[in-house]
Structure 1
Amino acid sequence: MSNRAPNEARVIPLRPAARPGAVPTAPPRRGPTPAEPLWRDLIGDVLRRERLAQERTLKDVAEAARISMPYLSEVERGRKEASSEVLAAAARALGLGLGDLLSLAQGELVRITSRTTGHLGRGTGRTTSSHDGLCLVA
């Protein structure tokens, strides 16, 4: 039986604990790191760009997705963290699958971070960033 309270979370450290008596070292100093874009901003940008490319109104897409027009507007502007159900409905209304939407957003993320951090591989067409993939955690 555990000594923890039933609702107490167990914390697993991501880095190994320092050895007893070891002198802590400061991380190497680097220039200011540009802020990563927020996922909701990327998704909103992709949804809006796709809607405008199809020359469709916010009202049309919201009705097709069966979500409110003000809420879709908030999602497009990156003001709301939409659920996967809402994102899937909006994507379907635009003729996309949820995977297509996420792939477009991931491509946008790579494009933005490559431009701001200079991690674009020279002549290879691939990034050299360690963030060259997509992982979503619930």
Structure 2
Amino acid sequence: MSTIVPLPGTRRRRRSELLWREAVGDVLREARQDRGERILDTASAAGVSPQYLSEVERGLKDPSSEMLSAITGALELPVHDVAGRAADRMARGSGPLCLAA
């Protein structure tokens, strides 16, 4: 019938547990979107490239503590809050499955 083809950079390995970088990326993306900011806006405020922030949000890059601090500072979130949210997300698992038609 139909074949599902993942978009470049969006494939996640099948496993029951999220990676830390994926959970942190999800939390950062949600925080940015809740603020109504574009990647360019947040990246500029954090002093990182939009490409780097995009890779962090997609769980492709594991940011150093300095980079994480810069990004969370731009989002006006304490690092410990992001870490706590990421830990909660990991404890719940990968979250709901969303399929596109």
Q: With the length of structure 2 as denominator, give the TM-score of the two structures.
A: 0.75
Q: Which runs of 5+ in 1 are unaligned?
A: 1-33, 116-138
Higher relative contact order (CA closer than 8 Å, sequence separation 6+) = 2
Report deviation, 1:110: 1.6
Over 3 Å counting, the alpha-carbon distance change for 1:57 and 1:38 in structure 2 is same
Aligned identity (percent) is 43
Which structure 1 residue ranges, 4+ long, deviate > 3 Å from structure 2?
A: none
Map of 1:111 onto structure 2: 92
Give distance in 2, aligned partners of 1:84 and 1:53. 23
Q: Which runs of 5+ in 2 are unaligned?
A: 1-14, 97-101
| Cα offsets for 1:4-59 (capped at 9, x unmatched) | xxxxxxxxxxxxxxxxxxxxxxxxxxxxxx53211010000000011001110100
Higher helix share: 2
Q: Are 1:75 and 2:69 an aligned pair? A: no
Over 3 Å counting, the alpha-carbon distance change for 1:83 and 1:52 in structure 2 is same
| Cα offsets for 1:84-117 (capped at 9, x unmatched) | 11111111110101111101111111222799xx
For these two proteins, the number of residue pairs brought into alignment is: 82
What is the root-mean-square deviation of aligned Cα atoms in Å? 1.8
